[in-house]
Structure 1
Amino acid sequence: MAQSLAFPADEDALVALARAVSETGYTFTTVTPATHARVNARPRNAEARSLRDVFGWSRPFRRGLLPDALVRLMDEAGALMREGERLRAAIRLSSLDGELFAHAAYPPSAADAVFFGPDTMRFVAAVLAHLEGRDRPVRRAVDIGCGAGAAGIALAKRLPGAEIVLADINPAALRAARVNARLAGTEGVEPRRSDMLRDVGGRFDLIVSNPPFMIDASERAYRHGGGPLGAGLSLAVVEAACERLAPGGSLVLFTGAAIVEGRDPFREAAGAVCARAGLDWSYREFDPDAYGEELDDPAYGEAERIALVVLTATRP
């Protein structure tokens, strides 16, 4: 049996496993960790009773619940853990844009966990809305901090022939992105290890990113934004885009912003960077009040709310 890892290493076996699950008609909408904890805490949910419980809700299960052939595929993929007499999946499978995406099992507590959740869905929706309204071709795009690769894969499905780079500093995320690109059958997708765009050359017609934006005491890679009120990585993405956007190129950044006494410090800082670079930019609150439970953390002692925001910046 495999030990608990952020994401298993055998990509061929993971693809075979995910395809076998997909053939059953499986679908699952992943919720926030807070919702996941509440639903799993119900007494009747202590143990899995279905395929969705195993691969969506990350609940332990007993032999006999799943077909033996599927359990063997899990074992071969390094995606099966033993907990006494019960078993548990080491990955989750979530639905988005007509595809299945493999990512970290719940709870995503490892420092290099591959996160996927409601913000992933909001991010992809914002990227596709921008793409639909764009009047210039996209020949080269990059997703900075790609995680499971959802946004880049969604772009690749709609931009045949384009080069799509999935950049992340986390090797576990790059494994997941490669698996998910194969599951979606997308071509032209290149996962590449890179801190921001330091190891990716050239300019881009489209840069997209949903970076971590929380203050996380454990500094988990998928969650910790660093800098003032968790905005450090988001601001770094804006700065990187200013340097690497091609003429007519755009940045679509989906992130969170802590609001302090009615002010949005991230908006002010990002807008100043865009203005200095001569970019046209717009900014909107996607959701004015998200992750309210985080405000109990003393690190957010000055914040009155956390908004989900979309920044779009374009080089004329």
Structure 2
Amino acid sequence: MTTTEPSAKAGAGFSSADLALHDLGAALKSAGYAFTTLTPASHQRVNQRPGNAWATDLPGVFGWSRPFRSGLLPASLVELMAAADVLATEGDTHRSLVRFSSCDGDLFVHSAFPTTAQDSVFFGPDTYRMVAAAVAHLEAQDRPVRRAVDVGCGTGAGAIAVAKRAPEADVYAVDVNRTALRYTQVSAALAGVPNVRPVLSDLVSGVDGDFDLIVSNPPFMIDRAGRLYRDGGGPEGHALSLAIVDTAVERLAPAGSLVLFSGAGIVANHDPLRVAVAERLAGTDLDWAYREVDPDVYSEELDGEEYGDAERIAVVVLTATRPR
């Protein structure tokens, strides 16, 4: 097999470009590549430092999204990038249109920085927090998971983390973003988890039946641009999070659980998301707990009009479980 003839081991249903993207990730993994993705604000600050204008290594190209000159990368990697349609070239200057980030021992493909396109697939610190919350909840349970779903899967990090720990389960990765589903499929193949099923779906409308586990890290920001990965909907960015709570009420199986990682703008020590969740779950049979994971994130957003009344933005985890 040459580098321009991607392997078929990634599975059926892969386009030639997706096979090349898989093989690009596999090559990076073999090379020992690793990268921890920061918030966009931190990413921009680091890239603006003197000496960071150009990539000088693999993390510079595939993590920091810096431009690179011909000759930096092995020809085999450049060929795979071209075959995967993720190579932007102007003269002697090149740039990767995707990033690869490390999480839970695997590599995940997602959109290059900056994520300004409507269909950008985002990966960041909240991804790590969500995966940690989902894994901790899963490992604390004494009931096997047979059906699970990652709602608004993005890179598929949640679905893949669950699938690794519940290899006999059917794990659905649902999203309205086709690019997210494509990247999830590639990352699941890189992780070697064949039980992840990407499905184009608004919430869980595209999947029948109940679930033993629902995990989600939905968009929760107020975003004027309306980007799919960022805008949570509604005046406070909570509409999608609350819709997922409603989904859990309707679709959790007996003893099934929801693990929802979200966020809220705190105004005068008041958390409007927690209040809304309490109203949604009042009168249901779900037992639930709500806690702040980090009291102060995305502080740069406090300068904007959307969060002009907020004193801080917190990220939170909601867990809700149906009795047996």
Match of 1:281 among 267, 277, 288: 288
For the aligned residue pairs, the C-alpha RMSD in angstroms reads 1.1
**Residues of 2 paired with 1:155 and 1:239: CA distance?**
22
Q: Does 1:56 align with 2:63?
A: yes
Identity %: 60
**Residues of 2 paired with 1:229 and 1:65: CA distance?**
45
**Residues of 1 paired with 2:322 and 2:165: CA distance?**
22
Residue matched to 1:77: 84
Structure 1 residue 302: deviation in Å?
A: 2.1
Match of 2:264 among 257, 262, 272: 257
Residue matched to 1:13: 20
Residue matched to 1:88: 95
Q: Secondary structure at the match of 2:126?
A: helix
Letter in 1 for 2:250: E
- What does the per-residue CA deviation read over 1:216-254, in whole Å, with 9 as the maximum and x for residues that have no partner? 110100000111311111111111111000011000000
Q: 171-180 or 254-263, which moves further after superposition?
A: 254-263
- What does the per-residue CA deviation read over 1:131-161, in whole Å, with 9 as the maximum and x for residues that have no partner? 1111221110000000000011011111011
**Contact 1:174–1:191 (Cα < 8 Å) also in 2:** yes
With the length of structure 1 as denominator, give the TM-score of the two structures: 0.96
Q: Does 1:104 align with 2:81?
A: no
Structure 1 residue 277: deviation in Å?
A: 2.1
Q: Secondary structure at the match of 1:66?
A: coil
- What does the per-residue CA deviation read over 1:76-126, in whole Å, with 9 as the maximum and x for residues that have no partner? 111100134200011000101111111000111111100011110000000
Structure 1, unmatched stretches of 5+, are 1-7
Q: Does 1:267 align with 2:274?
A: yes
**Contact 1:271–1:281 (Cα < 8 Å) also in 2:** no
Structure 2, unmatched stretches of 5+, are 1-14
**Contact 1:9–1:175 (Cα < 8 Å) also in 2:** no
Residue matched to 2:43: 36
**Residues of 1 paired with 2:75 and 2:61: CA distance?**
14
**Contact 1:254–1:308 (Cα < 8 Å) also in 2:** yes
Match of 2:187 among 180, 183, 195: 180
Q: Does 1:220 align with 2:227?
A: yes
Letter in 1 for 2:203: M
Q: Secondary structure at the match of 1:228?
A: coil
Q: Does 1:291 align with 2:298?
A: yes
Where do residues 122-201 of structure 1 align in structure 2 (5 Å cutoff)?
A: 122-201=129-208
With the length of structure 2 as denominator, give the TM-score of the two structures: 0.93
Q: Secondary structure at the match of 2:197?
A: strand
**Contact 1:168–1:196 (Cα < 8 Å) also in 2:** yes
Q: Secondary structure at the match of 1:238?
A: helix
Letter in 2 for 1:31: L
Q: Does 1:304 align with 2:308?
A: no
Q: Secondary structure at the match of 2:113?
A: coil
Letter in 2 for 1:14: L
Letter in 1 for 2:160: I
**Residues of 2 paired with 1:151 and 1:214: CA distance?**
19
**Residues of 1 paired with 2:111 and 2:129: CA distance?**
19
Q: In the comparison of the two structures, how many residue pairs are matched?
A: 309
Structure 1 residue 23: deviation in Å?
A: 1.1
Structure 1 residue 9: deviation in Å?
A: 8.2
Letter in 2 for 1:87: H
4+ runs of 1 displaced by more than 6 Å? none
**Residues of 2 paired with 1:134 and 1:56: CA distance?**
35
Residue matched to 2:238: 231
